[in-house]
Structure 1
């Protein structure tokens, strides 16, 4: 089973620049999308060969996450939950940032594609099987309210991650949470650590401690589990200067799995474009192959 996650930086622009060719070549069974910035019908039309569920942001032109499965593949979309908060509506700035979807065997209960129902925020998920989460966490900005929004959302994510892990340990669904988390973990995840650490959002200790809390509790950073000593691999490069050409990147896209799911990971790669003008997003897809 191949699972890919990518921040498309606007799915319309990504489609114009060559996303479809990557989809055809890479053929992920499950595709997790962030920063879709389009409604569900528009996004679906730009994902030929896939059945998708999209949660747009309530703020036009912002965020938006999605989960898609390959037509004819081993899995179908089941029930889904939008939003990370339990009970009540999340603020608009948090909308379109967290989408949980149950995956069902294509030839088993719940098969048949079609529309997957969005559960109300806080609704429970069925026991057994695999749930995937497409997550697009706030970028934040030091010295502005955006950093406070990011930290508040991270606190909600902490609570949800704890509940998902507890459910998996109790015999419930295994979980793979993937997406653009907008936080590095250490100097191995960013080319220019020293000039950015505790100066730029995404490289602040107050952000990093949230991720480290997940991993110390039992969640697994799949890329790091398979590449424990490498620098990178980076998944995002600034559009400014020659960051891409100089590989001055950041590793901010992750696949984070419950231990049983992580133990099935076989290989990980970043589908970095061969040249700057071949990119269709400022992020590169992060692809993990899992044993069936």
Structure 2
């Protein structure tokens, strides 16, 4: 297996139909990632067929929510996977379309690209409790995956891990996305379980440049009052090959911005 660059993007679309009207496919044709992990597709299989199976020459693989116009994740890939896994074995959250895994296995390597969409708890206590249940179920799944194969999980995690990851951290300490329990979950994942926040591996000190989400209220985007909610989480061996990370802000396709990281390996 020769060494080459594997370019991987993550983007919450906030609706694939909306994002494509705002130029996301043209941008993909120029950026040319090997894979793009997308979240909040917000449509079902019949709406994708004949319209969104491919974007800019990349083939899509999806996990749709049962509820119409809600959630849904996908991975568009330039490379044919050896297997596609939809869902992570959760009765509650697999119904919400939050996990799709593309496996690229060779005799030399077992490697997965995962697109995941963590629940948001911002709409109220009921959804915050659902978010905590998701984190409790998802943690052992990631540990099992780590024991079996290398991976990069891309997605909207809906957690800003540290103070440098959002503009107004002081005012958000009691708000979903920056709660102590959520941040502790991230810390445990990274410090105790040995997976890597790849953006922070490459850019340990950035603040204003790291944000990937801005509220549509007020002038949050214009004033760069943002949050870093979108991540690449990787096994250590994969993370060591990461070479460059960038958040693309020149064009807005949704309320999130694409996060692209280049890895020095071939699949």
TM-score by length of 2: 0.90
What residue is the counterpart of 1:116 in the other structure?
none
Q: Secondary structure of 2:152's partner?
A: strand
2:159 is aligned with 1:183 = yes
What residue is the counterpart of 1:288 in the other structure?
261
**Structure 2 gap segments, 5+ residues each:** 1-5
What residue is the counterpart of 2:14 in the other structure?
9
CA contact (8 A) 1:58 1:95 kept: yes
Counterpart Cα distance in 1 of 2:34 and 2:100: 17
CA contact (8 A) 1:83 1:99 kept: yes
Counterpart Cα distance in 1 of 2:68 and 2:225: 31
Using CA pairs under 8 Å that are at least 6 residues apart, name the structure with larger relative contact order, 1 or 2: 2
Q: How far is the alpha carbon of 1:104 from its aligned partner?
A: 5.0
2:61 is aligned with 1:84 = no
Counterpart Cα distance in 1 of 2:253 and 2:167: 22
1:23 to 8, 21, 28: 28
Runs of 4+ in 1 over 4 A off after TM superposition: none
CA contact (8 A) 1:76 1:104 kept: no
Deviates more, 1:249-258 or 1:51-60: 51-60
Q: How far is the alpha carbon of 1:143 from its aligned partner?
A: 4.7
CA-to-aligned-CA distance 1:238-292 (integer Å, 9 cap, x gap):
001000000000000000000001011000000112xxxx411110000000102
2:200 to 224, 235, 242: 224
CA contact (8 A) 2:100 2:114 kept: yes
CA contact (8 A) 1:220 1:256 kept: yes
Q: Secondary structure of 1:77's partner?
A: coil
What residue is the counterpart of 2:57 in the other structure?
49
Aligned-CA RMSD value: 1.8
1:155 to 101, 124, 136: 136
CA contact (8 A) 1:59 1:92 kept: no
Question: Would you say how many aligned residue pairs link Structure 1 and Structure 2?
Answer: 255
Instruction: Map 1:132-281 onto structure 2 (within 5 A).
Output: 132-141=113-122, 143-167=124-148, 173-197=149-173, 199-216=174-191, 217-232=193-208, 233-273=210-250, 278-281=251-254
Distance 1:68 1:104, change over 3 A: farther
**Structure 1 gap segments, 5+ residues each:** 110-126, 168-172
Counterpart Cα distance in 1 of 2:31 and 2:243: 16
